[in-house]
Amino acid sequence: MSIFVNENTKVIYQGLTGSQGSYYGRLNAEYGTQVVAGTHPKKAGADVDGVPIYANVADAVGATGATASCIFVPAPGVKGAVMEAAEGGVEFIVAITEGVPAQDEAYFFNDLARNYPDVQLLGPNCPGIISPGKCNIGITAGHIAKAGGPVGIVSRSGTLTYQALYELKQKDIGVTTCVGIGGDPVPGTSFIDCLEAFEADPETLAVMMIGEIGGSAEEEAAEFIRDHMSKPVASYIAGVTAPPGKKMGHAGAIVSGGKGTAAAKMEALEAAGVLVGNNPTEAGELMAGIVASL
């Protein structure tokens, strides 16, 4: 199985008429994803590579039965796009855009929690989600992912999401679903959301978790793994050499007051029984050992 999306997921692309939206929309469709519609308030009735454009998400959902949306609009428009998707009946929203203001992220995160509790938001500032051989929503290159399970991947870092997929493919290990949750301070989907879904998925037998410095998400995930996970987990935490107090790339990757360091996260994960690699390749080797023992 897969989590969140599968071969039956129908996807609307908000921003399909733009350069990035049309490029990745086409790649996702070529992968096999059901890209059924795009939206633009002034281009309803047009199409992009044969995909019809509707004025808004509600119209697109009504015409196609889509349950997912992928957002490729500029950062200032993401708050409106997320809320339009939720109000239009979408159940799973993937926001790829980076640079979304933190106050906007906090706004739609809390609005969804209050008024649309059944809507799952992934991102913003994330590579998206891929269930290899079934569905690819976002910017992950499909050819680096091997289908067939038994490993689920969840990662904060976009680049390390790709490397985790490729490390496993090199070892002939398939993946059920790979979720890039993004590194912003207010992610729509957390490590715990994904770990819980992987724990419930009968075809995911082990999990690879890629974290990075900043915040407490990895420590919270370690606690969840210790208390609720029966499946083995391998991990890698990026940023071992990052100097304290410095922002390192991602908006959420900042170490302050001795908290959020890679060492502290690694220690918490190891205490929870997670096998922690010192680099992505070592984490892949640890996962290969886990798979061999299943």
* Three-class SS state of 78: helix
Q: Token pair of 91, please?
A: 């159940």
Yes or no: say if 130 and 142 are a contact pair by the CB < 8 Å rule: yes
Q: Token pair of 54, please?
A: 């509707």
Closest CA to 261 of 234, 241, 281: 241
Tell me if residue 143 is catalytic: no
Closest CA to 106 of 87, 81, 133, 79: 79
Which is the catalytic residue, given 40, 143, 228, 250? 250
Q: Token pair of 84, please?
A: 């339009």
> In angstroms, how far is the first alpha carbon of the chain from the final one?
17
How far lies 158's CA from each of 154, 178, 273, in Å? Answer: 10, 11, 25
Yes or no: say if 157 and 214 are a contact pair by the CB < 8 Å rule: no
Half-sphere exposure of 148 (CA within 13 A, CB side): 7
Helix (H) or strand (E) holding 224: helix 217-228
User: What's the rounded Cα separation, in Å, for the pair 198 and 202?
Assistant: 8
Residues with active-site annotation: 250
